[in-house]
Amino acid sequence: PRILKDIWESLKQQRTFIRSIISQCMYPAFLFFFLLVPAVGLLFFFILPRLQKVWEMIGTTPAVFATAVDVSAMFRQFFIPTLICSIIIFTVGISLFKKLLRSQAGTKLLFIGKLVRYYNISVFTKILAIAYSAGIPITHGLILACETIPNIYMQKKLFKTSSMITKRPLSECFATTNFFGPNMLTKIKTGEQTGELDKMLIEISRDIDENFRTVISSLIKLIEPILMVIMAVFVGLYGMVIMGSI
């Protein structure tokens, strides 16, 4: 059926959109991996061991430097177990993070919560628009659209609107979820009154996608200076260790 093809194409476009967002995040990740990780390795495996020999020759070791050396020695001694534990923690962390994005807490996370809401509402409105334009009853269209969004919490709240739609306008039903802003609700109400609900829903989805890109760009712009600050901290530590060894 054509509607299934349209839904498949819509979800396919959404996946392509997410891939493009991920590609934009690759540069900060590359910057983090190829700057921060070598800096830590250089500190633990090269600088601290050599400065330790200098202090041993002098005969006096400052407390801060001694602590740094102890941490470096422990890290080198247990490097393989630490690496394995880090990989396990990273893998488990990714799994838990994915579950978090599907929960209520995922919609309230700082910065990320807004992205979660944007993505789910974008998918929801696109599928609902396709169903409505195909002549599917709005109640069934709501159920179909709910089944396509990944966040379980939002899915349940939006699903409740399917039982309210027979008594209240769609815009009022959506207002109870707190997922739609005033501008979105106004467009939905206009679409109901003019008979162009599908066009208004598509317009809302496009606006959300644009906001999604804007938020991602803002986050990327924040990540880069944060990484630079972290690198500056490590450079400062190098300077302190070297100056302390003179």
Q: Return the pLDDT at 237.
A: 64
Structure tokens belonging to residue 29 = 């990740």
Tell me which residue of 172, 159, 11, 177 sits closest to 107, measured CA to CA. Answer: 177
Distance CA 157, CA 29 (A): 34
CA separation for the pair 21, 243 (Å, rounded): 43
pLDDT of residue 241: 58
Say which residue the tokens 């974008």 belong to: 122
Quick check: 137 and 216 in contact, CB under 8 A? no
CB 241 within 8 A of CB 68: yes
pTM for this structure? 0.70
**pLDDT score at 152:** 92
Res 238: pLDDT: 65
- Give 10-residue mean pLDDT values along the chain (246 residues): 66 69 64 69 72 69 71 77 83 84 84 83 87 86 88 91 86 90 90 88 86 77 74 69 58
Half-sphere exposure of 222 (CA within 13 A, CB side): 7
